[in-house]
Amino acid sequence: MSDTPQITDSHCHLDFPDFDGQLDEIVTRAAEAGVTRMVTICTRLRNEPTIRAIAEAHAPVFYAAGTHPMSAADEPMATVDELVQLSQQPKFVGIGETGLDYHYTADSAEVQKQSLRIHIEAAQRTDLPLIIHARAADDDMARILSEEYRNAPYSCVMHCFSSSAELAKAALDLGFYLSMSGIAAFPKSQDLRDIFASAPVDRILVETDAPYLAPPPFRGKRNEPAFTAHTARKGAEVFGMGYPEFAAQTQANFDRLFTKAATYKAAA
């Protein structure tokens, strides 16, 4: 197993009911596949204690917290101080996920924008990476990310990136990262693979977004962190690299962006 290239699932949702009572096995299967770290994402701040407990109970698991844009109108508005306070937790390594989603929730666009700017300020104040969800909102997303970056720099990953080449360029021009999910491995996703192929390989992460978006050969089934390896193997093909080389590159990329996870030392 020590010969298996190591990778990180940079975005999953281990608190979802799909994984109830199975986390020990999930973490074990991930390790067997070379997935030695996971970042589990809190999408509603009231659930943060549950997600924190998962991270504290499992050595390979870190976490991030924020208000998902599709929930922004239904949840209390986060505050910068609240997010900054949460960031003091030892295994809290990112701000979000936040962002804009106009596919199903365009009616809450203004609330989403307000929430997004709050999360960006928290990222600016904590020096932790912002985790962005973007769907059907490319113009507003590019504009807000750029405006706020001019106010004060921050780091960011475009999680589960499946948007336009224009948004990819806007993000990359700001020094941000793009994360490959199982979508990038779907047979009909060649246009998306082309967008990734044109990006600098030192700005690429891999993720599952589990329990969603399982890559082939598990498409349509429940996703889990172990399956990151299938997306990462497709990523190696996209960049014309051997799998061990691509895995090592994504590990270096993750460590550069998620510095708190990279330097974490468990209490003795």
255 in a domain, yes or no? yes
Q: What is the pLDDT of residue 266?
A: 78
Question: CB within 8 A of 186, min separation 6: which ones?
Answer: 215, 216, 219
CA neighbor of 138 nearest in space, from 175, 172, 165, 104:
165
Print the domain residue range for 78: 7-262
1 in a domain, yes or no? no
Q: How many domains does the chain have?
A: 1
Residues 240-252: pLDDT tens digits? 999 999 999 999 9
Q: Has this prediction a pTM greater than 0.95?
A: yes
CATH of the domain at 209: 3.20.20.140
170 in a domain, yes or no? yes
SS3 sequence of 186-221: CCCCHHHHHHHHCCCHHHEEECCCECCCCCCCCCCC
2 in a domain, yes or no? no
Q: Which residue has the tokens 């020096």?
A: 127
pLDDT digits (tens), the chain, 268 positions:
468 999 999 999 999 999 999 999 999 999 999 999 999 999 999 999 999 999 999 999 999 999 999 999 999 999 999 999 999 999 999 999 999 999 999 999 999 999 999 999 999 999 999 999 999 999 999 999 999 999 999 999 999 999 999 999 999 999 999 999 999 999 999 999 999 999 999 999 999 999 999 999 999 999 999 999 999 999 999 999 999 999 999 999 999 999 999 999 876 5
| Angle at the Cα of 71 from the Cα atoms of 84 and 184, rounded to 5 degrees | 90
55 in a domain, yes or no? yes
Residues 11-61: pLDDT tens digits? 999 999 999 999 999 999 999 999 999 999 999 999 999 999 999 999 999
Q: Which residue has the tokens 């949702």?
A: 13
215 in a domain, yes or no? yes
Asked if 230 contacts 215 with a C-beta cutoff of 8 angstroms, the reply is: yes
CA neighbor of 156 nearest in space, from 177, 181, 134, 135:
177
Straight-line distance from the first to the last Cα atom of the chain, in angstroms, rounded to the nearest whole number = 26
267 in a domain, yes or no? no
